[in-house]
Every structure is written in C-alpha cells, then in structure tokens.
Amino acid sequence: MPRRLRGGGPGSGPMMAAVDLNRVDLNLLVAFEALMDERSVTGAAQRLGISQSAMSSTLARIRRLFDDPILLRSGRSMVATPVAETLIDPVRATLIQIQAALTGSRSFDPDTDQRTFVIMATGHAAVGLLHPLLVDITPVRPNIRVEIQPLDEDFAPTLFRSQADLVVLPRELMASRPEIWSDEVRWEVLYRDRYLLAADKDNDHVTGAISVEEFSRMPYLAAEGTDGSPSSGDSNLNVLGIPRRVEVRAGFAVAPFMLRHTNLITLIPRIPALRIAAAAGIRLVEPPMQLQPISETMVWLRRLDNDPGHVWLREALRSHAARLVGSVVDIV
C-alpha cells in the first residue's frame, strides 16, 4: 500500500487531496522552499544553481504534485496561493529535520571535510572577531569557508530558514528582536566590550579627557546598522539623555574612516577600534560618561546543537574570542 500524505489536520489550513509519497522527490520540496523564499522562478533558479528553464519545469512538477498553481503572476511579481502558504512551514520543518538527521549522524573533521558556514554579524563583530577568525582559519583549514554577511533588519527569517548558521550581535540589541526569543533559539555571550571615543589623530580638540559638555558640543558621527538602527553606544546615550551634535551618519564598518581630516567624534567598541586605529588614522580616548558595556553574542538554532560541524564552529568562536580578549592591549 503506497504511503500517502494528507492535509486537513488541526491547524493545517484548507483540506488537500492525499499525496502519494512514492511520487515525492525530495528535490521538489527543496525547490518549493526556494520558490517560496524568492517568489521568483529566476531567483530560485539562481539560488539552486540551475537554469531558469529547469526551474520552470520543476515548478510545473510541483504544481502537479500539489494540484495547485503554487505561485501566480501579479503585475511584475509573483504571489503564493493560500495552499502554498499553508505548506511552506511544514515543508521547511521537514527539510530541516532531514538535514539535521543526516548531518547529525556524521562526524566532522575540519582538517579534511569541506563545509561552508554562513555567519551574519554587525560591522563591529565582523571587524573585531570574525576577520581575525578568518585570518587564523584560512591557512590551516583550506576546506572550511566562512561566509560573513551583514546583519540586516530582517535577519530572523534567514536564521530560521537555515540560510545562516550563526548570528553575532550585541545581546543588548536582542531585546528589540522578540522573534528570536523562542524555544528554537540558543544564544551565548562570547565576550564583553566597552566603548571608546574616537577622533582623527590630528584633532586638537581631543588630545585627552574631555567633559560631557565638550562632548555634546563637538560634531558627532552617529554609527548605524544597515537598517538605520542606532549603535548600542548611541542607544545608551539616549537613555542617559546626553545630547549630540549629529552631523554625519554612517554604517558601523565605515564610521571610523569617516573621522579622518575632520573634527568629528564617535563611539566605537574597544576591540574593533584597537584593530583599525592605525589604518583609520584615529585617536582613542576614554569617553566622558559611564556607558554600559556591550555583550557580543552568538545566536543559533537549537536543532543544530548536536551537528558536529556546528559544534566545531561554536567552539572555534569561543576559543578565538577568549584569545582575542586576552591579547588586546589598551593604547589609551
């Protein structure tokens, strides 16, 4: 008797006809997930590394499998049908469980196994933690590739879809992300850092300690995330009620280099600041106010707890963070 998959259970949405599992190719479910994420045949084809015509043929097979159009043209875009919307969560969960079962049953040897890890991170974490990790890993682990992606406003779906292995961000920013406070998510603080005040090395107005009043009068560069969110330092200043004369806004990664040949000042976490001070031509001093430290935190999905490769990655980050914090010497 062929096994059949039938919809219409509690919370499963519209009643669907039974599906003969003997007709289900796992690749169709992978393609279905890509189509639902991209809402584009072209985008899904690029993601899976196949031609657009092959993806169109695959979409036709998916439509026959579920007896539903799945995606419909609406102007210049495509929209999912109600049936497709009902299917995506259980299909994605099934694929993740299959992947976890297959990877969890194997060992992982970083010296011989090939694997790509995707880590989303703020600019500060990328410069302070992940770039040094790359420098250490690349010469001795040529089969391991670490792909660093900028942390965007909508990073939670990327994590839940298993399109990123880890997210690294300050724990202080997690409070504004209620979607990641769930039983599916694990997190661990890697290290704590404090903010320093940065200015151009030739800025005569910042040669040592300054007062809060002087700080508030100086032209200020507000460092922001890719989504325009303020840095933890600026959020802390807002809580303290300390005004700034904001004249420039820039992303975390470029902010230090924007200070060169200007009278601008900004706040930068100590570890990335010390790494780039010479290259950016900046001077670092203690800020005139007491700021809360930031806690750089790695976030991952619970289902990856026992994945041997993921276990290795987390341990590599822990070890590297410990060495990094212990090796950084203040220059202020």
> Of 104, 132, 164, which residue is a domain's last?
104
Question: What average pLDDT score do residues 174-184 get?
Answer: 75
User: CA 148, CA 99: separation in Å to the nearest integer?
Assistant: 22
Q: Which of 173-187, 232-246, 291-305 has the lowest mean pLDDT?
A: 173-187
Mean pLDDT, rounded, of the chain = 85
Higher pLDDT, 327 or 299: 299
3-class DSSP string for the chain: CCCEECCCCCCCCCCCCCEEHHHCCHHHHHHHHHHHHHCCHHHHHHHHCCCHHHHHHHHHHHHHHHCCCCEEEECCEEEECHHHHHHHHHHHHHHHHHHHHHHHCCCCCCCCCCEEEEEEECHHHHHHHHHHHHHHHHHHCCCEEEEEEECCCCHHHHHHCCCCCEEEEEHHHHCCCHHHCCCCEEEEEEEEECEEEEEECCCCCCCCCCCHHHHHHCEEEEEECCCCCECHHHHHHHHHCCCCEEEEEEECCCHHHHHCCCCCEEEEEHHHHHHHHHHHCEEEECCCCCCCCEEEEEEEEHHHCCCHHHHHHHHHHHHHHHHHHHHCCCCC
Q: Is the pLDDT of residue 128 over 70?
A: yes
Residues of the domain holding 141: 115-192+295-327
Q: Is the pLDDT of residue 13 over 60?
A: no
| pLDDT band per the 50, 70, 90 thresholds, residue 20 | low
Residue 49 placed within a domain:
yes
Q: What is the CATH number of the domain that holds 250?
A: 3.40.190.10
> Of 104, 139, 160, which residue is a domain's last?
104
Q: Are residues 241 and 281 in the same domain?
A: yes
Residue 109 placed within a domain:
no
For residue 149, the model assigns a pLDDT of 92
Q: Are residues 261 and 208 in the same domain?
A: yes
For residue 104, the model assigns a pLDDT of 56
CB of 168 within 8 A of CB of 285? no
For residue 98, the model assigns a pLDDT of 77
Count CB neighbours of 52 within 10 A: 14
Question: What average pLDDT score do residues 82-110 get?
Answer: 79
Indicate the number of domains in the chain.
Answer: 3
Q: Which of 235, 275, 269, 237 is nearest to 252 (CA)?
A: 269
Residue 312 placed within a domain:
yes
User: CA 321, CA 191: separation in Å to the nearest integer?
Assistant: 6
| pLDDT tens column, 205-232 | 998 889 999 999 999 999 987 777 788 8
Q: Are residues 124 and 145 in the same domain?
A: yes
| pLDDT tens column, 273-288 | 999 999 999 999 999 9
Q: Are residues 12 and 143 in the same domain?
A: no
| pLDDT band per the 50, 70, 90 thresholds, residue 68 | very high
Residue 251 placed within a domain:
yes
C-alpha dihedral sign at 124, 127, 132, 138: positive
For residue 295, the model assigns a pLDDT of 93
Question: What average pLDDT score do residues 38-42 get?
Answer: 90
Residue 258 placed within a domain:
yes
- Structure tokens of 124? 């500060």
Q: Are residues 12 and 99 in the same domain?
A: yes
Q: Are residues 21 and 97 in the same domain?
A: yes
| pLDDT band per the 50, 70, 90 thresholds, residue 56 | very high
For residue 17, the model assigns a pLDDT of 52
Question: What average pLDDT score do residues 124-139 get?
Answer: 90
Q: What is the CATH number of the domain that holds 45?
A: 1.10.10.10
Q: Are residues 65 and 79 in the same domain?
A: yes
Residue 140 placed within a domain:
yes
Q: Are residues 299 and 267 in the same domain?
A: no
For residue 256, the model assigns a pLDDT of 93
Q: Which of 6-20, 135-149, 155-169, 171-185 has the lowest mean pLDDT?
A: 6-20
Q: Are residues 178 and 314 in the same domain?
A: yes
Q: Are residues 283 and 305 in the same domain?
A: no
Question: What average pLDDT score do residues 129-133 get?
Answer: 92
CB of 329 within 8 A of CB of 272? no
Q: Are residues 313 and 173 in the same domain?
A: yes
| pLDDT band per the 50, 70, 90 thresholds, residue 326 | confident
Higher pLDDT, 106 or 242: 242
Q: Are residues 38 and 170 in the same domain?
A: no
For residue 189, the model assigns a pLDDT of 95
| pLDDT tens column, 294-317 | 999 999 998 888 889 999 999 999
Q: Is the pLDDT of residue 14 over 80?
A: no
Q: Is the pLDDT of residue 16 over 60?
A: no
pTM metric for this prediction: 0.70
Count CB neighbours of 21 within 10 A: 10
Residue 332 placed within a domain:
no
CB of 320 within 8 A of CB of 136? yes
Residue 138 placed within a domain:
yes
Q: Is the pLDDT of residue 105 over 70?
A: no
> Of 75, 104, 133, which residue is a domain's last?
104
